[in-house]
Amino acid sequence: MSAPGQAGRAGSLIVRNISKRFGGLVAVSDVSFTVAAGEIHALIGPNGAGKTTTFNMIAGAQPPDTGDVQLDGVSLAGLRPDQICRAGVGRTFQIVRPFNELTLVENVAVGALAWTDDLAEARDHARGVLELLGLGDKKEARPSSITLPDRKCLEVARALATKPKLLLLDEVMAGLRPTETDRMVAIFKKLNADTGLTILLIEHVMRAVMALSDRVLVLNYGRLIADGKPEEVTRDPEVLACYLGAEAFD
Partner 1 sequence: MMSRIIESASPRALALLAIVTAVLIAAPSFVNNYVLSVLIIVLYFAYVGQAWNLMLGFAGQLSLGHALFVSLGAYTSAALFIKFGVSPVVGVFAAIAVAVVAGCLIGYLGFRFSIRGVYFALLTIAFAEFTGIIVDHISWLGASSGLFLPVKNLQSNDIVNLRGSPTMFYYVILTLTGLALALCSWLLNSKLGLYWQAIREDQEAAEASGVPLFRYKMIAVAISSGLTGVGGVWYAFYYNNLFPETMFKTSQSVEIILGSVVGGVGSLFGPVLGAFVLTPLGEALTAATEGMHVDGVKSFFWGLCVAAIVLFRPQGLWPWLYDLLGLGPKREGKKP
Task: Return residues touching partner 1 (CB under 8 A).
Answer: 59, 61, 80-83, 85-86, 91, 93, 97-103, 106, 109-111, 113-114, 117-119, 122, 138, 140-142, 145, 158-159, 161-162
> Least CB distance from residue 122 to partner 1, whole Å?
8
Whichever of 99 and 221 has its CB closer to partner 1, that residue is 99
Q: Which of 51/91 has CB closer to partner 1?
A: 91
- Minimum distance of partner 1 from residue 230's CB (angstroms): 28
CB of 217 to partner 1, least distance (A): 22
Distance between CA atoms of residues 138 and 150, nearest Å = 9
Closest to partner 1 by CB, 140 vs 250, is: 140
E-assigned strand segments in the chain: 13-22, 25-35, 40-44, 66-71, 74-75, 89-91, 166-170, 198-202, 215-220, 223-228
**Run of H or E including 91:** strand 89-91
Judge contact between 29 and 187, C-beta under 8 A.
no
What residue type is assigned to position 151 of the chain? R
- Min dist CB 43 to partner 1, Å, is 18
Q: Which is nearer to partner 1, 118 or 194 (CB)?
A: 118
Residue type, 235: R
